[in-house]
Amino acid sequence: MQAQDKFIAGLIQMATTPDPDDNLARAVELVELAARDGAAVICLPELFRSPYFCQKEDPALFDLAESIPGPSTEALGKIARSRQVTVIASLFERRAAGLYHNSVVVLDAQGEIAGIYRKMHIPDDPGYYEKFYFTPGDLGFKTFDTPVGRIGTLICWDQWYPEAARLTVLQGAEILFYPTAIGWHPHEKDTFGASQHDAWRTIQRSHAIANGVYVAAVNRIGLERTAKDAAGIEFWGGTFLCDPFGVVIAEADAGSEQVVMAEVDRARIEDVRRNWPFLRDRRIDAYGRITERFSDEP
């Protein structure tokens, strides 16, 4: 497949309502908007069909899951086919009774499923009880060929792990997409908010620099509570795309739904890697212990 030298990525920052069908309809509208404005690859935020339900453990919330293929892939596949674009959609996947994943579906320009990635790193923290809902991914780290080149997809908590980015890039990915749902616990925001947001932004840029690729982090916005008396999570938005040297090309603010449009120039990858040849200088002969959990030996 002959890749385009330049293309536009459309990153959709959106809020959610309690109605999954309403969220899907609005996602379709935003994908349509991005495609109309010239985006060739369009990415939605993590679990966009519902509020972030992992704030609590409730077996009834498994009803939010859907099969792949299913209603979301059908609706988004239609717009991908009609606009001839690639769509990246993060879904709560019902694989079988009692078996669920946090997954990404890549829909090609014919509206067909080009592949699935299942989230590999599953967090379990206050307000992020994902281990209750999601089985860890069993497909490994994945790349997908598209008309604009080979892309990689990872999901939220995956974005903190350099191994995930590296292994995806070693399969030829030229841009990493991270559908995300990340924000502040309101009681922590004043004390830790700025440093938490800076750490998140910095780690994405570091993956771009260390691997010589573009990185897109796609977040949601809004204060979401699982109950009226719950503190909830304030999702901070800040969706952005950075280039292979970590330069932020385009970025959304924290408070509004936006479609971030940014140009990806594949020649920039070549230029950066020639001058900063990290892949050339890797000591692959010395990395055997990277697969150990931890070493008690010096």
Q: List, by residue number, the catalytic residues.
A: 46, 119, 156
Q: Which two tokens stand for residue 197?
A: 């947001």
> Distances from the Cα of 291 to the Cαs of 30, 152, 253, 288, in angstroms?
41, 22, 38, 7
CA distance 112 to 65: 20
Chain-centre distance for alpha carbon 135: 18
Task: Please name the residues in contact with 125: beta carbons below 8 A apart, sequence gap of 6 or more.
Answer: none
- The closest alpha carbon to 49, from 21, 88, 77, 75, belongs to 21
Burial (Cβ within 10 Å: 0-12, 13-18, ≥19) of residue 224: buried
Q: Which two tokens stand for residue 98?
A: 């009692």
- The closest alpha carbon to 94, from 83, 84, 102, 85, belongs to 102
Q: Which two tokens stand for residue 70?
A: 């299913």
Give me the residue label for tokens 């990340």.
182
CA distance 48 to 22: 11
CB 13 within 8 A of CB 220: yes
Q: Centre a 10 Å sphere on the Cβ of residue 14 and count the other Cβ atoms it contains.
A: 23
Instruction: Please tell me whether residue 106 adopts helix, strand or coil conformation.
Output: strand
